[in-house]
Amino acid sequence: MTAITHHLPDHLLASYAAGTLPQPFALVVASHVSLCDDCRASLEAHNAAGGVVLETTLEERLSKDLKASILAQLDDDFVREPVYEREGALPGPVMEALEGQPPKWKSLGLGVKQCIISAGENGSVRLLHIPPGQAMPDHSHGGLELTLVLQGSFSDEGGRFGVGDVEVANEDVEHTPIADAGDPCICLAATDAPLKFNSLMPRLLQPIFKI
């Protein structure tokens, strides 16, 4: 794997450490951290800082009834999820989200495929499989988009993104990602709002493909 040059911004790592990052973005962060030593070290620093804050926070005593209720809920509802190993291009967090099963790809046309991992009020996260040389439709964003490269690479107005690189795009970014020559580009992409396509056909197909 080539050196990772596009990293996660610090505020996203801090939000992930605090447990406040929506699940679609949290999966991208967890997957990137599993590939990137630098961001893993930064995350550990945030976790350590959070531990210091907890240690210095004044203790609040719980009533016996509240404590018993919380423990009962943990006993009833808490199920430890299995931890999966990396499978090919897919890191452990992605395999865990897929419950150890291979992606269920659906065609988007022109050789492009997607596998929606989850979609809900907090956004969506999906795998994209893009053939070499294929461009994605020109688009901007209604919110935040995180795109992590798991195989191959792509290039757009923001530069070249290889394995482990993550592109952070917001409302100010308009781009046309193109998969580079070589292996098909496999990406993990999370959004919290629908993309804004410039061309008519992608806009017409958007409700069907849930992009």
According to the 3-state scheme, what is the secondary structure of the chain? CCCCCCCCCHHHHHHHHHCCCCHHHHHHHHHHHHHCHHHHHHHHHHHHHHHHHHHHCCCCCCCHHHHHHHHHHHHHHCCCCCCCCCECCECHHHHHHCCCCCCCCEEEECCEEEEEEEEECCEEEEEEEECCCCECCCEEECCCEEEEEEECCEEECCEEECCCCEEEECCCCCECCEECCCCCEEEEEEECCCEEECCHHHHHHHHHHCC
| Whether the Cβ atoms of residue 24 and residue 190 lie closer than 8 Å to each other | yes
Tokens 């994209």 found at:
128
- Which listed CATH number (2.40.50.100, 3.90.550.10, 2.60.120.10, 2.120.10.30) goes with 99-209? 2.60.120.10
Asked if the domains 10-68 and 99-209 are classified in one and the same CATH topology, the answer is: no
* Global pTM value: 0.82
Name the residue ranges covered by the structural domains of the chain.
Answer: 10-68, 99-209
> What local confidence, expressed as pLDDT, does residue 78 receive?
44
> What local confidence, expressed as pLDDT, does residue 204 receive?
76
> What local confidence, expressed as pLDDT, does residue 146 receive?
97
Count Cβ atoms below 10 Å from residue 80 Cβ, excluding itself.
5
> What local confidence, expressed as pLDDT, does residue 203 receive?
74
pLDDT along the chain (211 residues), means of 10: 89 96 97 96 88 53 61 50 83 96 94 96 95 94 96 96 97 94 97 87 74 77
Architecture of the domain defined by 10-68:
Orthogonal Bundle (1.10)
